[in-house]
Structure 1
């Protein structure tokens, strides 16, 4: 999915400042948002990523970078709103197909926008495939980054009773998993007796079903590397420990801002299963379809939806 991002092109670099999707709107019907290539990363999506990367570099004022672990990529960028606090906090988790080739720069504008709206943000970097994120490294790294919020609260005015996760793409998978890991069994290598409690999850075109993603052409190589399973029994065990759809109910409200791609059916299936299990889950589909429109807070429609959902979840879903 991300191969084209890494290769780039002169045309895209020359046009990335105009790559923002025009007249973006939200709907509940994918019929209004036809995608000409639902399984591919289109040129306009790659251009949107480039633009977010550039905006990310310009969104670093007032950031405090703090290492939560010993790994070179085990740090987070803390942004605090103006005022005395204590502030609610969003743990922001970037995507990149679980690979080390993409970092937290492109989610910096999102983190800044939330902080400007009065929500402190912890935009985390973490171990990924290629940087120590092979099984079970990435899950342990993301969990350590989340639990480190308790350490941050000793020095900074953070309200530990009001913490949510906000994740994009594969980061949306981790954002959901962080809210689900209290359901893990004690014999799991990912088990933690006291994970940081969360108030909700904002998933921005995230992946809640790893088995469904592994069945797609672009997931057949990535997911086996992520989970490191060898036997059928091991596969089932790893899915049960890492795939949010296998850990429902999460016990917290969730909001999905997604788009019409080859993953939409599995996302909607997860939402329906979660609702049936008792979780309060809502969603919107962003149009025109663009994987990065869902994280693009330069677009008022997207920014307003993300900020409103974050505030609602921090207030108990109300």
Structure 2
């Protein structure tokens, strides 16, 4: 099958809303599965952006011996909001981990989130073996104050961080440290949608808190290029995932092992 034309996925439902679904693909070929990649898309919490953003990565991963779970969740305008959106992603990850589909695939479960998906992946890190955050939103109060994404935080949360600081803290990975699992943060120095300074500060804080966090900041990588599987940075991400899988102890084995 040509790249970009995925076969029909198995669909995992984790709630009653039409958005509460996960598309699951098996890896290509007969080689041993490297693990399960859980993809979480971005789009600044807006309903117009959905899990199809991650399909190119899904195709690349399954061709490189990864099983892939592509998460959809409720967003602004379709039943989302906070904490519902974050609860959706945690419920989706838990459903994947408990599914018979997961039991068929050996190896670690690694979350991969882009932009707001990076925020959501980091907040669900304790449910997985590791996390890759691509140009992540890590401090939503700062996102609000800097009016990023055309005032995306103001639109989604509907209240300012001064009015409800606890709400913003609960949605910010920077306020939920230390991370429970190893993480890789990839954030291009030329990113205009989420400034790289957010990740620089997050990584420093995460390391100070005792977390294992690797950081890569390619000079020319812009925001959307972070989810382009043809880039050198994405190849580095896959290499990191393989290396991590070889290092993690007590990895889950398939039920047939």
What's the TM-score bracket when you normalise by the shorter of the two chains? Answer: 0.7 to 0.9
* CA distance 1:59–1:109, shift in 2 (3 Å): farther
Q: Quote how far apart the aligned CAs of 1:69 are.
A: 1.7
Going from structure 1 to structure 2, the CA distance change for 1:264 and 1:303 (only over 3 Å counts) comes to closer
Of 156, 169, 173 in structure 2, the residue corresponding to residue 226 of structure 1 is 156
CA contact under 8 A between 2:57 and 2:228: conserved in structure 1? yes
Q: 1:88 aligns with which of 28, 35, 39?
A: 35
Equivalent residues of 1:200, 1:314 under 8 A apart: no
Alpha-carbon distance change, 83 to 219 in structure 1, aligned in 2, over 3 angstroms: same
Deviations 1:158-181 (A, max 9, x none): 34x7211101111111111111xx
Aligned residues: 244
Unmatched tracts of structure 2, length 5 or more: 250-257
For residues 53 and 16 of structure 2, the distance between their equivalents in structure 1, rounded to whole angstroms, comes to: 23
Q: How far is 1:287 from its partner? A: 3.5
Distance 2:8 2:234 in 1: 20
Between the two structures, name the one with larger relative contact order (CA 8 Å, sep ≥ 6): 1
Structure 1 residues without counterparts, runs of 5 or longer = 1-54, 183-196
Does the Cα contact within 8 Å between 1:204 and 1:256 map onto a contact in 2? yes
Give the deviation of 1:229 after TM superposition.
4.2
- Residue 136 of structure 1: aligned partner: 83
Question: What per-residue deviation string (whole Å, max 9, x for no partner) do you get for residues 33-66 of structure 1?
Answer: xxxxxxxxxxxxxxxxxxxxxx99x332252233
Pair 257,133 (structure 1): closer, same or farther in 2 beyond 3 Å: same
CA–CA distance in 2 between the matches of 1:269 and 1:282? Answer: 13
- The answer to whether residue 207 in structure 2 is matched with residue 278 in structure 1 is no
Shift of 1:86: 6.5
What is residue 113 of structure 2 aligned with on the other side?
167
Shift, 1:120, TM fit? 1.1
Q: TM-score, normalised by structure 2?
A: 0.84
Superposed displacement of residue 85, structure 1: 5.9
Q: Return the alpha-carbon distance in structure 2 between the equivalents of residues 208 and 313 of structure 1.
A: 23
User: Matched residues in 1 for 2:32 and 2:15: separation?
Assistant: 26
Q: Summarize the Cα distance change of 1:166–1:118 in structure 2 as closer, same or farther, 3 Å threshold.
A: same
Aligned-partner Cα distance in 2 for 1:307–1:134: 32
TM-superposed deviation, 1:304: 1.2
Q: 2:186 matched to 1:257?
A: yes
Task: Tell me the TM-score normalised to structure 1 length.
Answer: 0.69
Q: What is the CA-CA distance between 1:157 and the residue it aligns to?
A: 0.6
Mapped pair 1:210 → 2:140: yes
Change (3 A) 1:312 1:212: farther
Measure the CA separation in 1 of the matches of 2:202 and 2:165.
18
Q: For residue 241 of structure 1, report the CA deviation from its aligned partner.
A: 1.6
Cα 1:286/1:78, change in 2 over 3 Å: same
Instruction: Indicate the SS of the match to 1:221.
Output: helix
- Map Cα deviations across residues 183-211 of structure 1 (whole Å, 9 max, x no partner): xxxxxxxxxxxxxx311110111111112
Larger Rg: 1
8 Å contact from structure 1 (residues 201, 313) kept in 2: no
After superposition, the C-alpha distances for 1:226-282 in whole angstroms (9 at most, x for unaligned) are 3344684x6221123221000110121111111123521121011011111111111
Alignment of 1:229-308 (within 5 A): 229=159, 232=162, 235-260=164-189, 261=191, 263-299=195-231, 301-308=232-239
